[in-house]
Amino acid sequence: MIVKCIVENVLVLLGGITLFLYGLKLMSEGMQSLVGNKMRRLLGATCKSPTVGVLLGTGVTAVTQSSTATNVMLIGFVNAGALTLAQAVGVIMGANIGSTVTAQLVSLSGSEVFNVTAIASLVALSGLIISFSGRRFFKSLGGVMLGLGFVFIGIEIMNSSAFQFKDYTFFRRLFMTKSPVFLILNGILITGIVQSSSAVSSVMIILAINGLISFEGSAFLILGTNIGAGIAVLLVSAPMSVEAKKVAVANLIFNVIGTLVWIVPLIAFKDGILRAFSLLGGGIERQIANFHTIFNLSTTLLLLPFVKQFVWLIERLFKSKRKTAIRKGEAVA
């Protein structure tokens, strides 16, 4: 009987995750269809400064709800020679900030002011009706609304199933582990599979609301999810030019640096950091969403003054790699 209940709850949780991811996909595709050409023109325009790039990357990713989509567009522009690596770096930083919008929305899903699920159902129904229109604009708008509704309905399904896992010791031990390395690797692996740091951080919020994960554990998982998202973008750039690969590597290194900056304070001053985030208000769900945003904001503020040095590091890495390849070729010859 216990095994049957566990299997049923796992299937319901997977169903909620599936609906959530499908909702994100519909939203992303709908928004790209609505404003995609404008976004591409904006990204294709020469950024006057890294700060402009950060603002642009944040806005584009907040609208499309996909940092991967923003980075893929960037890779395409750099691959075509329309943007340089230096111009792309600021947008990369902004894309990471914009990717935290989803988690912020999910953290508000437990609001007692109004029934989020009821409103989400109405939005989804309205989106479905609008999408029946023959006009492309209304089809795209309907897709965005339908996706938004699915996101929050999926959250409710995940929430109701995750609540049941509180009774199972195995799951509590799995999610409440104290090992930072294990949690970071988990975040990398899960995000590598799902290919969405927004989705993984959102699921973490659901688990935290139901007492299955602590703020400390979620913080280390978030470090891993950001690296995992960088690896996913790196895979997209694999068949492209060296310049396109540099963009993907820059995105990955940005998140690795952020992880290295945060990991020591999280271990050494975890109680102080927890108190600091609790002062921002809200429950654990708000603390996790705020950490996700502050992680990317702080990494951006740290690296923004050193964009030239950051670009030099990326160029240096590829130059060293090229020299190594040449030496191996000479050795074979």
Whether the predicted pLDDT of 324 surpasses 60: no
Whether the predicted pLDDT of 298 surpasses 90: yes
CA distance 121 to 135: 23
CA distance 157 to 177: 25
CB 46 within 8 A of CB 87: yes
**Tokens 């271990």 belong to residue:** 267
Burial of 215 (0-12, 13-18, 19+ CB in 10 A): middle
CA distance 50 to 86: 8
Which of 191, 252, 188, 181 has its CA nearest to residue 217?
A: 181
CB 21 within 8 A of CB 196: yes
Question: Which tokens is 18 given?
Answer: 């599936």
Q: Each residue of 115-163: pLDDT tens digit?
A: 667 777 888 889 888 888 778 888 888 888 888 788 778 877 776 666 6
pLDDT of 257: 93
pLDDT of 105: 78
CA distance 280 to 265: 18
pLDDT of 296: 92
Amino acid at 262: W
Question: Which tokens is 36 given?
Answer: 């995609």
Which of 196, 244, 267 has its CA nearest to residue 80?
A: 244
Q: Each residue of 273-292: pLDDT tens digit?
A: 888 888 887 788 888 889 99
Gyration radius of the chain's alpha carbons: 21
Q: Each residue of 56-80: pLDDT tens digit?
A: 888 878 876 667 777 777 777 777 7
Question: Which tokens is 27 given?
Answer: 């939203």
**Tokens 């409440």 belong to residue:** 176
Mean pLDDT of the chain: 79
Question: Which tokens is 185 given?
Answer: 């690797």
More confident residue, 38 or 330: 38
Question: Which tokens is 184 given?
Answer: 């970071």
pLDDT of 20: 77
CA-angle at 98, arms to 275 and 40, nearest 5°: 170
The residue-averaged pLDDT of 315-333 equals 62
The residue-averaged pLDDT of 96-121 equals 73
Q: Is the dihedral of CA 275, 164, 229, 187 positive or negative?
A: positive
CB 200 within 8 A of CB 225: yes
CB 86 within 8 A of CB 47: no
Could you give the residue ranges of the DSSP H alpha helices within 269-332? 270-278, 284-303, 307-332
Listed by start position, the domains of the chain span 2-324
Greatest Cα pair distance, the chain, in angstroms, is 72
Whether the predicted pLDDT of 39 surpasses 70: no
CB 293 within 8 A of CB 97: yes
pLDDT of 333: 44
Helix/strand number for the chain, H first, E second: 15, 0
Amino acid at 267: I
Which of 258, 281, 273, 287 has its CA nearest to residue 104?
A: 287
pLDDT of 260: 92
Whether the predicted pLDDT of 301 surpasses 90: yes
pLDDT of 253: 93
pLDDT of 302: 93
Q: Each residue of 169-216: pLDDT tens digit?
A: 555 565 666 788 888 888 888 887 776 777 778 778 887 887 778 888
Q: Each residue of 254-275: pLDDT tens digit?
A: 999 999 999 988 888 888 888 8
Looking at the chain, the whole-number percentage of residues with pLDDT higher than 70 is 80
Confidence of residue 36 (pLDDT cuts 50, 70, 90): low
Q: In Å, how far from its chain's centre is CA 183?
A: 17
Question: Which tokens is 210 given?
Answer: 């139901």
pLDDT of 268: 85
Contacts of 144 (CB under 8 A, 6+ apart): 26, 27, 30, 31, 34, 127
C-beta neighbour count of 25 within 10 angstroms: 16
